[in-house]
Chain A
Amino acid sequence: MSTPSSALVMEARGLVKRYGHVTALDGADFELLPGEILAVIGDNGAGKSTLIKALSGALIPDEGEMFLDGKPVKFHTPIDARRQGIETLYQDLALAPAMTIAENLFLGREIHKPGLLGSLLRLLDKKKMNAEAVAHMKDLQIGIGSSTQAVETLSGGQRQGVAVARSAAFARHVVIMDEPTAALGVKESNMVLDLVRRVRDRGLPVILISHNMPHVFEVADRIHIQRLGQRAALVKARDIKMADAVAIMTGAMVAAS
């Protein structure tokens, strides 16, 4: 149809998704600039989670197109999306509690020993994984004792840190974070928001879904407001007041085009 803008890291046009009688996405658009933190906000039932699922490959939209770095893409499974460089951080973290930080970081993507030992016998290079895990955590300045600690011994914020580090380590294009501060206290939320900024500073754009307005306004560069299955507004965070954003979200106000 129309030509995609190659300046955008990720773009979606006219996404439609129906569940029987219910239309979750009704011609939703989406765009993500390089090196930004884009917050996606919207009330329940606005189609926010459906949009994110479509972008991360967890569901296939009925209609519409998606572009990654200007090239059209179609994701059939979340693994598809991951292979194209889109990492998703789920709300329940997807960490195996009994396993160590390093093991979790490389879960499903383990580093094998070189040569036949690695390819045939699938031998793990544990030293390398431990070292790299330490490096990744240091990079994001997450305070961890040692990378051989079990994840279940960590606090909520630290676990979130591990999950963020995992996404940041493997993402090539986009990191999607689903409610990263939802279960955390004040201090730990701030830690995570710092982390989000650091991920952005490494050059990875972040799509942040959140219900927490103060957090959104603290960290986002632009805000995508979803309402009734469509994008109601896409504004720079400093160009709009929090109250107005909430108003657009609930429909009390209509965004200036």
Chain B
Amino acid sequence: MRHLLERMPPVATFGPLLALLAACAFFASQTDRFLTGQNFSLILQQVMVVSVMAIGQTLIILTAGIDLSCGMVMALGSIVMTKFAVDLGMNPYLAIAGGLLACIAFGLLNGALITYVRLPPFIVTLGTLNIAFAITQIYSQSQTVSGLPDALLFFGTTFRIGQTAVTYGTLLMLGMYLAAWFLLRETSPGRHIYALGNNPEAARLMGIPAQCLLVSVYTIAALIYGIAALLAVARTGVGDPQAGQTDNLDSITAVVLGGTSLFGGRGTILGTLIGALIVGVFRNGLTLMGVPSVYQILITGILVILAVTTDQLSRRRM
């Protein structure tokens, strides 16, 4: 029996899945509009942007860091992409590349400051959050950019599975989760990320190139935010400079609800997806039930506390 228990994933990842299923069961019982393919497709579209950002956030939190600048970097990426395509008339694919490069630049900046200047990630990303926000507002003059070419809107277009309309963006999101899962579980850099967060001293002593790895993590995360920017543009149909302002906390919420420890070294990427879905399911379900928005915020807060408490308790029993 103990052997079996050892083989099962820890409570930390099981818990969120149970919570998600319980929430789905509850909402299905309250309204018959919940359990439809169309509704689930909608939920996936609604969590798409934040959950993709949460992939990058998970990688960073696994190294015991944190990234508060993710939402603003995403907004910057979306403005650069759309302005390049519309104002400068660039080839849309080059415009997308431009947006991704803008995000990567911020990732490099974050990584370099945290690794080589040894500043705490919280403070560095707090600073770059403001810098990215300001640049976005200045470049866009705080105006949304519309009239986008089709290439930028591709991920918002849908195809049918039976009766349900599914967007390509949803597929991209799921694909990215698969790639991240693969990286973390099956490759040595993924394992090194866990080691870096769990015991950075041990990682260093064992010859893991910690500095190089840390900078790479922040840069790859920023690239992921750039992809999230493309998804946001495709979903809303415009480049919105006011987008993403609460997304940093939303992505951290998804990561925490998924059972990843903020102290680093523990957690799974699938947990993050479940965490993002939990938030989306509650928001959708409560609206279907006619509950005012403010209760969604209340419940999210309660869930976060529950998630962290469960994680702590399950670890203490060891």
Q: Interface of A with B (CB < 8 Å)? A: 78-79, 82, 90, 92-99, 103, 107-110, 112, 121-124, 126, 145-146, 148-149, 152-153
Contact = CB atoms under 8 A, between A and B. Distances in A.
Contact of A96 (B3, B6, B189, B198): B198
B142 to A, nearest CB: 44
A99 B195 contact: yes
A103 B191 contact: yes
Contacts of A107: 191, 195, 202-203, 206, 208
Interface of B: 3, 6-7, 186-189, 191-192, 194-195, 198-199, 201-203, 205-208, 265-266, 318
A98 B194 contact: yes
A153 B318 contact: yes
Contacts, number: 71
Contacts of A110: 188, 191
B208 A152 contact: no
B199 A108 contact: no
8 contacts: A95-B199, A107-B203, A108-B195, A108-B203, A124-B186, A124-B191, A152-B318, A153-B318
Question: Which DSSP category, helix, strand, loop or mixed, fits chain B's interface?
Answer: helix
Contacts of A108: 192, 195, 203, 206-208
A166 to B, nearest CB: 9
Given A146-B6, A152-B318, A124 B187 contact: yes
Most buried by A among B194, B202, B318: B202
A153 B208 CA distance: 24
Most buried by A among B6, B188, B208: B188
A79 B207 contact: yes
Question: Which DSSP category, helix, strand, loop or mixed, fits chain A's interface?
Answer: loop
A114 to B, nearest CB: 14
Most buried by B among A96, A122, A124, A148: A96
A149 B189 contact: no
A230 to B, nearest CB: 28
A153 B5 CA distance: 13
Contacts of B265: 96-99
B205 A96 contact: no
A149 B6 contact: yes
Given A96-B195, A96-B202, 6 more contacts: A79-B207, A97-B199, A99-B265, A107-B202, A108-B208, A146-B3
Contacts of B6: 145-146, 148-149, 153
A155 to B, nearest CB: 12
A79 B207 CA distance: 6
Contacts of A98: 194, 198, 265-266
B207 A122 contact: no
B225 to A, nearest CB: 24
A94 B187 CA distance: 21
B206 A94 contact: yes
What are the 10 tightest A-B residue pairs by CB atom distance, in nearest-first order?
A108-B206, A94-B202, A96-B198, A110-B188, A108-B207, A96-B199, A122-B187, A107-B206, A79-B207, A94-B205
Contacts of B199: 94-97
Contacts of B3: 145-146
A90 B204 CA distance: 13
A97 B201 CA distance: 12
Contacts of B206: 94, 107-109
A237 to B, nearest CB: 30
